């Protein structure tokens, strides 16, 4: 048996002012065939899972390119087409193959391509024909399209938010595709569209935690092979934004069961009380007062709507203002994206007291640039931080102090996944009452081990916290909350 595996992924906020060319992929994560590390990245886990199974099952594994671009705005047409064609040329050279595996995100949008993943899968199917098994792993924050369903035998999405299970789901994908190629199963997929932009949920809290536990218990029984929830990625002006449930079952005899189960689970999500799926989001001053009222430290707040994981800059100064307004409170915030400020700090050197302008630069919702007398506390040539089984580079970085406030500035634009973003620069988080992280929820698993309490912020953007504020032009209607809910 011959198996081909590759990965092409990013998450596109079509309203972001940050644009993506091929260099953005090459600088973030780009591994030509045979150079992928032993550890998985968020969207390249099928490569690591396939390597493991090749050793135990004895099939021939042919690796293509694996690449990832940090979430941002539209991908250029040339960048997408060149990377797509690079992988397809590798697949063409590897043929004949029995299985094609892809690590995708599912929310990539390029100029001229609203459904990059669907386009890749369709071209793959045209190339390999109807009898080759095609499978892909998706981030749960994807856009599920009919083109993807039509051209893949097996689609599997992450179940956990924060994303702690990308390798587990990759192993599920490889297992199902191997069983399909061996003739043991015949996957069929049924989808229930919730027609909602507001049904996404965290699995670090209820009811999402128990719901996903139930999905895991249902899989592998009564002909049900896999269950995934599409949470969607709201800041994308494409037709298929929104939440869906899709169930993969074994054979046509179980298709009706899959359809019934997908609708049952989708309606269960819709039946949760308003606001049950998400946490309260504190305004900046409200957050400071909440932290002071709570016992223990650090109290960790996530600046969700300025998280680079949402395709925005991560340079908002709104929470810096809130921290500086309380100079008596020991606090820290990071990692903020400001390559120029990092360059100035590194040139000045550790211990230097300098006047620095930083952050608040990319858009009007980023707040204002901060002008302050700072002390350069630490610098790093390459700030590497762990995220589950993978490592993420924040590039050259610096820690600066303004009194009791420590601030991490980074050259690389990425979420603050774990405490080493601070501790590697000498910031003792146990000495801080308030810690603000630039992340949506992916920080949770690592920071929950050191936090007295975790909360979430609403700093006003630039990522839109309310889908009713998003100027969609392509979205299929009706859809809640832009319209009355069609199913309720």
The answer to whether residue 469 sits within a structural domain is: no
Of 250, 270, 290, which residue sits at a domain end? Answer: 270
Instruction: Kindly state whether residue 479 falls inside one of the protein's structural domains.
Output: no
- Is 378 within 8 Å of 351 (Cβ atoms)? no
- C-alpha–C-alpha distance, residues 202 and 278, integer Å: 7
Residue 430 counted as domain residue: yes
Q: Are residues 428 and 297 in the same domain?
A: yes
Consecutive 10-residue runs of the chain (488 residues): their mean pLDDT? 98 94 96 96 97 97 98 97 98 98 98 98 98 98 98 98 96 98 98 93 94 97 97 96 98 98 97 84 96 97 93 94 97 98 98 97 89 98 94 96 98 96 98 97 96 95 84 95 88
Q: Residue 64: its pLDDT value, please?
A: 98
229, 350: one domain? no
Cα dihedral sign, 66-72-76-77: positive
For residues 408 and 318, state if they share a domain: yes
Q: Order across the sheet with 60-68: list the strands.
A: 29-31, 60-68, 2-9, 99-104, 133-138, 154-157
Task: Return left, alpha or beta for 354; rule: phi > 0 is left, psi -120 to 50 is alpha, else beta.
Answer: beta
pLDDT of residue 277: 74
85, 228: one domain: yes
Domain assignment present for residue 462? The answer is no
User: Is there a single domain that holds both residue 237 and residue 125?
Assistant: yes
> Both 288 and 240 in a single domain?
no
Torsion angle defined by CA atoms of residues 325, 326, 332 and 335, in that order, rounded to the nearest 10 degrees: -10
Instruction: Pull the structure tokens for residue 372.
Output: 């302050």
CATH code of residue 152: 3.40.50.2300
- Clarify whether residues 80 and 164 are in a common domain: yes
Provide the pLDDT for residue 275: 76
Distances (CA, A) of 394 to 111, 139, 391: 27, 22, 10
Within a domain: residue 474? no
- Residue 415: closest CA among 392, 393, 439: 439
Strand partners, 333: 407, 436
pTM of the model: 0.94
Q: Identify whether the C-beta of residue 185 lies closer than 8 Å to the C-beta of residue 133.
A: no
Q: Does residue 340 form part of some domain?
A: yes
Q: How far apart are CA 301 and CA 286, in angstroms?
A: 11
Evaluate whether residue 487 is within a structural domain.
Answer: no
Question: Based on the domain organization, do 226 and 298 belong to the same domain?
Answer: no
pLDDT reported for residue 435: 98
pLDDT value at residue 461: 77
- For residues 172 and 297, state if they share a domain: no
Q: Looking at 152-254, list the stretches that DSSP marks H as alpha helix, in order from N- to C-terminal side.
A: 166-181, 208-218
Q: What angle do CA 359, 362, 365 make, to 5 degrees?
A: 90
Domain holding 431, by residue range, is 281-457
Number of domains present in the structure of the chain: 2
Q: 244, 270, 296: which is the final residue of a domain?
A: 270
Residues 439 and 339 in one domain: yes
Distance, CA of 162 to CA of 470 (rounded, Å):
24
Q: Are residues 42 and 182 in the same domain?
A: yes
Judge if 362 and 436 occupy the same domain: yes
Q: Which of 240, 270, 300 corresponds to the end of one domain?
A: 270
Instruction: Name beta bridge partners: 332.
Output: 406, 435
């Amino acid at each position: 048996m011959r198996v081909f595996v590759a990965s092409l992924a990013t998450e596109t906020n079509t309203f972001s002012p940050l644009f993506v060319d091929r260099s953005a992929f090459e600088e973030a994560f780009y591994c030509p065939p045979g150079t992928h590390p032993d550890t998985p990245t968020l969207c390249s886990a099928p490569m690591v899972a396939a390597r493991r199974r090749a050793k135990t099952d004895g099939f021939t594994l042919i690796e293509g390119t694996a690449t990832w671009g940090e979430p941002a705005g539209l991908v250029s047409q040339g960048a997408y087409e060149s990377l797509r064609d690079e992988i397809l040329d590798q697949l063409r050279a590897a043929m004949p193959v029995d299985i094609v595996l892809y690590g995708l995100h599912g929310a990539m949008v390029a100029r001229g391509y609203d459904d990059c993943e669907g386009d890749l899968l369709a071209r793959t199917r045209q190339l390999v024909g109807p009898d080759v098994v095609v499978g892909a792993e998706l981030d749960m924050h994807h856009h599920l399209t009919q083109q993807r369903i039509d051209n893949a035998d097996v689609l599997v999405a992450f179940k956990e938010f924060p994303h702690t299970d990308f390798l587990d789901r990759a192993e599920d994908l490889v297992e199902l595709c191997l069983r399909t190629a061996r003739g043991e199963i015949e996957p069929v997929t049924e989808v229930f569209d919730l027609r909602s932009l507001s049904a996404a949920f965290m699995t670090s809290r209820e009811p999402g935690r128990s719901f996903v536990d139930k999905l895991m218990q249902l899989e592998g029984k009564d002909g049900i092979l896999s269950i995934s929830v599409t949470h969607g990625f709201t800041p994308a002006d494409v037709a298929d934004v929104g939440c869906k449930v899709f169930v993969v079952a074994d054979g046509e005899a179980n298709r009706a069961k899959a359809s019934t189960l997908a609708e049952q689970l989708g309606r269960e999500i819709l039946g949760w009380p308003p606001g049950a799926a998400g946490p309260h989001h504190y305004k900046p001053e409200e957050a400071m007062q909440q932290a002071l009222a709570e016992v223990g430290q650090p109290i960790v707040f996530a600046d969700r709507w300025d998280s680079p994981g949402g395709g925005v800059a991560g340079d908002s100064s709104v929470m810096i203002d809130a921290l500086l307004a309380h100079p008596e409170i020991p606090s820290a915030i990071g990692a903020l994206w400001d390559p120029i400020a990092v360059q100035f700090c590194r040139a000045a050197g550790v211990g230097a007291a300098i006047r620095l302008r930083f952050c608040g630069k990319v858009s009007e919702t980023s707040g204002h640039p901060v002008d302050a007398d700072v002390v350069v506390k630490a610098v790093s040539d390459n700030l590497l931080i762990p995220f589950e089984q993978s490592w993420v580079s924040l590039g050259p970085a610096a820690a600066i102090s303004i009194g009791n406030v420590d601030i991490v500035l980074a050259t690389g634009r990425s979420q603050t996944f774990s405490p080493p973003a601070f501790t590697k620069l000498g910031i003792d988080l146990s000495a801080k009452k308030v810690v603000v992280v630039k992340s949506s929820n992916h920080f949770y698993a690592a920071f929950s081990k050191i936090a007295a309490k975790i909360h979430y912020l609403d700093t006003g953007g630039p990522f839109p916290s309310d889908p009713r504020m998003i100027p969609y032009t392509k979205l299929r209607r009706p859809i809640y909350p832009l319209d009355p809910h069609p199913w309720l």
